[in-house]
Amino acid sequence: MKQRIRFGSAPATAAGRIFDRILSNPLAWARTLLVRSIRWQITGWYTLLLAGMMVLFSAGTYVAVYRLLIENFDESLASQANLLVNTIGFENGELMITNDSLRIGRVNNEHLIRVYRADGTLIYNDNSIEQANALAASVPLALAGERQHFAIEGREGPMRVLTVPIFDGTRTAGALQLGLSLEDVGDTMRALLKALLILAPGVLLLASGGGFFLASRALGPINRITRAAQQISAENFSRRLDLRGPNDEIGRLAHTFDAMITRLQLAFEQQRRFTADASHELRSPITAIIGQIDVAVERTRDAESYQATLLSVREQAQRLARLTNDLLYLARSDAQPKPVLKEPIDLGQLLPAIVAQLEPLAEARNQTLQIQLPPTLLTHGNEDDLIRLFLNLLDNAIRYTPIGGSIAIETGTHTTNNQPTIHVAIRDTGPGIAPEHLPHIFERFFRVDRGRTRAQGGTGLGLSIAQTIAQAHGGQIQATSTLGQGSTFTVTLPCGSIQTLC
Ligand code: ADP
């Protein structure tokens, strides 16, 4: 079936439309291509550099070949001139030339032979070209004993001429001028130029194609990375590149990208869990308060019953206050990690003060609270934060240690990585923490026994806050525990003074 080709009408296919757009403004299209694609940029620069190098190389080759040809030409000119000079005889001190003697070998192109007497008179000339002045100019030099090469314009094109002295013994008896057409050299140079003009663009085209192919191959995985990144969203963190290949720049980039997505996924999931946990924790006391008030107002009750309800409501409200307080603290330190004030703090005084604050609580549970520490133990940081850290740890120790148990605080100084550090260990004789739970206890809202610990008044954020504070002070908290025997929480903080005695 014949197809009609319509000119000037809108192209039907997408490819046609793109082609049309390119043709309408090729410069703008090329600029867009260069700006948007590294592949084209690399190819463009590579081609430009290569073109520059090829121009230099071609020009260099051209000049070198020309000089070599002229050198050879001059040598052959000189040997032919010598042969001619040897055919010239002398009679009574005068030059003797026979027409047969001044004949040179096989010459297809134009040539000239001129012979001058010692007084500069031209006595032989086989070519009547009109460059008499240029030719005569070199004769005095030859008569003075010098040989001279030069170029003139002959009837059929440029010629190379050599003027040599003719010696009769030691006396300069005259000069001979031999000129040969450079037409053969010109032909060779024209052939070379043609070859270079055909070869250079061909090589350039091939090399650019190769460059484009290599750039495409090298940058191909980057497109995959871009596509994968476009597919990743808050709802879909499952996408990975899984690029199998050598451990080169692209391989490392893909690996780093995958590791980053894994970290992002983890952080996102943690955030999601935290939000869900926080709303749940906030809702439970509010639900309890509403429930208790509903029950209380259902019917008229005695004063004692109202008092009991109010006390319970107050307890829930206190819990809410603690929770919001803790959440606020974490939200603030997440949003803007607090720069730790470098005020010197003496744990030798701070720790006994905290212990004194908690002693009534321990006494109420019939627990012994022992503290062993030197009179001064210097660190630096923020006092309020450090009080909060040790209060959280000691409060946990008292709450989780059964009635009649004991809690001990021991301190010491060590040198870790050439840095003097302070250790404060809080040991209790509580129920201990199972090994499978131990790695999670510093996570927000993590509790070994949700119901029980909540009933004991914990928010599930105490250890997480303590760890945040320790880390902000350049330290950390480590927990060790044996089920049924007790737990030890060890806080490490940097020493307050450079000396070994902190
Ligand atoms: P909570 O407010 O629930 O105490 P924390 O963050 O302070 O929250 O502690 C997290 C969990 O670690 C607790 O719920 C508890 O299960 C466990 N835990 C903390 N300290 C102790 C301890 N001294 N002995 C036993 N378990 C502990």
User: Which of 325, 326, 369, 396 has most ligand 1 atoms within 8 Å of CB, for mutation?
Assistant: 396
- The chain-wide mean pLDDT, for the chain, equals 87
How do residues 28-66 score in pLDDT, each as one tens digit? 777 776 667 888 888 889 999 999 999 999 999 999 999
In this prediction, residues 206-225 reach a mean pLDDT of: 87
Ligand 1: atom nearest CA of 428 is: 23
Residue 481 predicted with pLDDT over 50: yes
Edge-to-edge, what's the strand order for the sheet holding 486-494? 368-372, 406-416, 419-428, 486-494, 476-482
* Tokens, residue 110: 């134009």
In this prediction, residues 374-385 reach a mean pLDDT of: 89
Q: How much distance in Å is there from the Cα of 370 to the middle of ligand 1?
A: 20
Question: pTM for the full model?
Answer: 0.60
Residue 4 predicted with pLDDT over 60: no
Q: What's the rounded Cα separation, in Å, for the pair 137 and 139? A: 6
Report the b/e string of 167-181 with b at 16+ CB within 10 A: eeeeeebbbbbbbbb
How do residues 105-136 score in pLDDT, each as one tens digit? 656 678 899 999 988 888 888 877 777 778 88
How do residues 6-27 score in pLDDT, each as one tens digit? 444 555 677 777 778 777 877 7
Q: How much distance in Å is there from the Cα of 336 to the middle of ligand 1?
A: 26
How do residues 387-404 score in pLDDT, each as one tens digit? 999 999 999 999 999 999
Which amino acid type is present at position 344? P
3-state secondary structure of 457: coil
Bigger pLDDT: 234 vs 432: 432
According to the model, what pLDDT value does residue 34 have? 67
Ordered DSSP codes for 344-360: EEEHHHHHHHHHHHHHH
Per-residue pLDDT band for 2 (boundaries 50, 70, 90) equals very low
Q: How much distance in Å is there from the Cα of 13 to the middle of ligand 1?
A: 68
According to the model, what pLDDT value does residue 15 have? 74
Q: What's the rounded Cα separation, in Å, for the pair 273 and 279? A: 10
User: Which of 441, 454, 485, 487 has most ligand 1 atoms within 8 Å of CB, for mutation?
Assistant: 441
Q: How much distance in Å is there from the Cα of 290 to the middle of ligand 1?
A: 28
Closest C-alpha among 235, 294, 244, 245 to residue 265: 235
Q: What's the rounded Cα separation, in Å, for the pair 47 and 215? A: 12
Ligand 1: atom nearest CA of 463 is: 6
Residue 345 has, within 13 A of its CA and on its CB side, a CA count of: 21
Residue 189 predicted with pLDDT over 80: yes
According to the model, what pLDDT value does residue 6 have? 47
Q: How much distance in Å is there from the Cα of 413 to the middle of ligand 1?
A: 26
**Nearest protein CA to atom 11 of ligand 1, as residue:** 447
Ligand 1 site residues, Cβ closer than 6 angstroms: 392, 396-397, 400, 428, 430-431, 433, 441, 446-448, 453, 458-464, 487
Bigger pLDDT: 40 vs 499: 40
Ligand 1: atom nearest CA of 449 is: 16
Cα–Cα distances in angstroms (integers) from residue 329 to residues 196, 277, 325, 385, 409, in the given order: 77, 16, 6, 10, 26
* Tokens, residue 23: 């043709």
In this prediction, residues 155-178 reach a mean pLDDT of: 90
Q: What's the rounded Cα separation, in Å, for the pair 498 and 487? A: 32
Angle at 376 between CA 370 and CA 380, to 5 degrees: 105
**Nearest protein CA to atom 7 of ligand 1, as residue:** 462
